Structure 1
């Protein structure tokens, strides 16, 4: 008899739980942070590619864009890549990188390293995603880190400086 009473009580509790009223309104969620994006970027000419790559490499390395030199443009299997260099802050030598653009994503790799196998494109899960938005001579570089945080840096690129 005791087991029957326990079973009836348990059934009543479960029935009451299934009849709980729905909340009057769904809980509000936090708004998504505003992110500058470019719907479908225009294809960049070589001058635009150089500007975007200089801005991105300067931002990634926390350097003024004026310190980044364009050493040329190379044709790779993946498309055109800009060869860049700058004075290495540690030993005064030259640091080198290549940069290419895929849509609104900037992909880069260090070059000129003693170990050629270390010269990999920074597209791994542990690498930030670097995007750009161009508005005339203003380029916004958006870096999204693997943990989801992001930062935006606006860079002014003087295209006449490229002619040197």
Structure 2
């Protein structure tokens, strides 16, 4: 039974120490409103910083998405421009061949089917040149549009 009494005394002493600690903490928080205000201010600043970081991350993600989209569009335009240039090169090669054949036939005697073929090849070369020029102009305009928009936003 004495063990129980000893344990009871130890538990009571521990509870008294806990009460004193809690009373001391309550007294410190009540006695130091400046500390409490400082803590609240730090919490508010922390919340503000967290919000700023979130906004910066959103802005960065938006800019990365725009740049990615812009890069993909420019890559598509470059591919289209490359296709047009390949057509132009092929058409010009065909035109050179036809002109060489035409010169040869003019010196030896005119063949009407070669003349017609040469004209068709020249027209195809002109169409290919025009398509290539249009693709190049589209690529240039697409690069300039964002710059113009940025300038108009900065001015407005």
Please indicate the TM-score interval, normalised by the length of the shorter structure: under 0.3
The answer to which structure has the higher helix fraction is 2
TM-score, normalization: structure 1?
0.25
Structure with greater strand share of residues? 1
